[in-house]
Structure 1
């Protein structure tokens, strides 16, 4: 039950025992007063046993309200935690407007902690914060501003919002559109948020507006506060998917390496929030089990067994392969194996050649549908596919290697170097790496856009591609293929018309693809 002083703050109090609760806990709903005269809609679960109890604060994802995390809240309450689950301002039952991890959102975390400590039997020395996606980013930043937070669980969160919105001067337009439309449909966007997302989605965004979006995004990035987070020394658990459409796994790997406190990183197949969605629905979930174990070790102090395991945990694609454990991120990354690009092959020696494709034309190669394609992979184990023989060679360049004789483990970031000859001042290329079976069906390993805005038409310029890291196993008899075209529905490209997009490889500057290959027999 809530303490007597909370009565005036409770909007709808329904004290209910969840069926099957092991030790029993009471559930109630409350409005928590917050900055700006608004209230945050919250759900409070408190064990029936005497306190003080460890406290778990669960922050709703984009569009979510106080009951979005009801299953994890139940599970944590059954483990002896006081749990408060709330929707961020502007979403669910919470007042105010969506500020995208703005200053008020960060202050709200501390406000919710203050309120819960005052009105429940929560222990001020044992506090953890967790969330999925939007809640994950807010929780990470809050850990840099509230030293009471002993542990953070970031599930499908972001480290760098600037890099999340734009890669290589190419905007993730479809993901941004989904974010904007879902925010409008499920919440109240602040005028600033509406303005910035509208600028971001402009077909031909100006340099000034691009900089404005960057300036708005940077202080909303946990990476900007890594020194503060390290000073407060919370234990950080980050769980990310390899095929993240929204928050690419590379940025979380970089952020993880900069953390100085206790930390653990897990990377699994799937797209944004795919690995945790089952647990939100009450299905068995390795992801949420890791969260509970992390909080037990670093908040409650009841079970520290997770600390005996190597902290970098990966599961490879395709399928759900057994987890691999590494002591740190560098030991996960395999050394590069270089193949040079011939006219249409990936080969052992450099080659001199020129070729071209029609600019501003799409092919069957694509990065999939945001939040759908790779979520399906998480369920089925099968990556998105394309028939490589259907790639129009007039609109896309294709380079293939010889089939591998044995299963080959790719662990880390693929990298490629090309020289392009742009037909116009501005333009875009999109590169895809496929795992191709003997019948020509390509399973997508990775993809990456690259744009230029101030080129000299007809003059060669380098294009260096640093793909997001992955863990992928190429089966024996399969081969890799690199496909490059100039359009993808995922991105707002900079193509301005027709013409021929050239590729050049010279003896002095050959084109190549580096693939991180773990040697056979390497111990995971």
Structure 2
């Protein structure tokens, strides 16, 4: 907050407070702070929450072009045997290929799921800033109203790297969609999934699609929110797409059907920025 006020003081009031000399990019790497149990004043009893004792790590860059040093592309597959989630498969050569195309997956739109940006306006964000991020149980995400794709366990690429993946920059997603309505909302959530199937959010972004013609495909591409996040070694990356989130307005029509596909000419993919 102090930095935000300093930035406003400089750019709106013209105060010479050193803001002009700040690096152009200052990424705070999510959840790299350390915490300890918070104690209730007076009693010293644990409150069940944490408090931050060491701030999250920051990475200073002189230009945005220095943040993302490479990209990794994952192709989306259809669902697995028995209706299991689809897979996010690494694609060679840095561009989508025809592998994993020709499928369609459907869900009932207009119903919120456990995959939400926050449970309560402001409260979820304030809790995260205090060292108490929202924990998702990915098993509770209702697959009747959402679609999910997951990678295999992510391992370090070698050298001095210890994280499974160092996400740095703006993820990009392409899907082909059709609906029984003339409009649809797509909410994309990227989750870091631990071995016990609990997860923390990396990035998300909504997209409202209008002018749809039932039974006709429309291919859409959109950028998710920028992120600086280290996925621990052995964790998995999950993409969840649903149609409603209380944080945003939406164009979904309740109980209509949204179908996501990956035609051979325009395969669906997730582009992950790496730093």
TM-score by length of 1: 0.41
1:97-147 Cα shifts (integer Å, max 9, x gaps):
xxxxxxxxxxxxxxxxxxxxxxxxxxxxxxxxx9649x93x973x46xxxx
**Superposed CA RMSD:** 2.4
- The structural deviation recorded for 1:263 is 4.5
Among 145, 158, 161, the alignment partner of 1:395 is: 145
Match for residue 26 of structure 2?
A: 313
CA contact (8 A) 2:32 2:57 kept: no
CA contact (8 A) 1:334 1:410 kept: no
Q: Does 1:334 align with 2:84?
A: no
Q: Does 1:325 align with 2:60?
A: yes
Following the alignment from structure 1 to structure 2, what is the Cα–Cα distance between the partners of residues 372 and 494? 25
CA contact (8 A) 2:175 2:261 kept: yes
User: Which is richer in strand?
Assistant: 2
- The structural deviation recorded for 1:510 is 0.4
- The structural deviation recorded for 1:370 is 2.8
Match for residue 100 of structure 2?
A: 351
1:309-354 Cα shifts (integer Å, max 9, x gaps):
x553322012324322222221122321100001101002431211
- The structural deviation recorded for 1:422 is 1.8
Q: What SS does the corresponding residue of 1:493 show, helix, strand or coil?
A: coil
Q: What SS does the corresponding residue of 2:130 show, helix, strand or coil?
A: helix
CA contact (8 A) 1:131 1:139 kept: no
- The structural deviation recorded for 1:366 is 0.2
TM-aligned CA distance change 1:312 to 1:452, over 3 Å: closer
TM-aligned CA distance change 1:424 to 1:263, over 3 Å: farther
Say how many residue pairs are matched: 230
Which one has the largest radius of gyration?
A: 1
CA contact (8 A) 2:178 2:212 kept: no
Match for residue 476 of structure 1?
A: 233
TM-score by length of 2: 0.76
Structure 1 residue runs without a partner (length 5+): 1-68, 73-129, 144-148, 153-234, 238-261, 265-309, 519-524
Following the alignment from structure 2 to structure 1, what is the Cα–Cα distance between the partners of residues 202 and 251? 25
Among 411, 415, 423, the alignment partner of 2:172 is: 415
Following the alignment from structure 1 to structure 2, what is the Cα–Cα distance between the partners of residues 385 and 491? 20
Following the alignment from structure 2 to structure 1, what is the Cα–Cα distance between the partners of residues 206 and 57? 31
Q: What SS does the corresponding residue of 1:442 show, helix, strand or coil?
A: strand
Structure 2 residue runs without a partner (length 5+): 34-55, 79-85, 92-98, 157-162
Correspondence 1:255-274 to 2 at 5 A: 262-264=20-22
Match for residue 467 of structure 1?
A: 224
Match for residue 123 of structure 2?
A: 372
Following the alignment from structure 1 to structure 2, what is the Cα–Cα distance between the partners of residues 131 and 416? 30
Q: Does 1:360 align with 2:102?
A: no
Following the alignment from structure 2 to structure 1, what is the Cα–Cα distance between the partners of residues 187 and 15? 42
Following the alignment from structure 1 to structure 2, what is the Cα–Cα distance between the partners of residues 500 and 410? 33
Q: What SS does the corresponding residue of 2:66 show, helix, strand or coil?
A: helix
Following the alignment from structure 1 to structure 2, what is the Cα–Cα distance between the partners of residues 313 and 448? 21
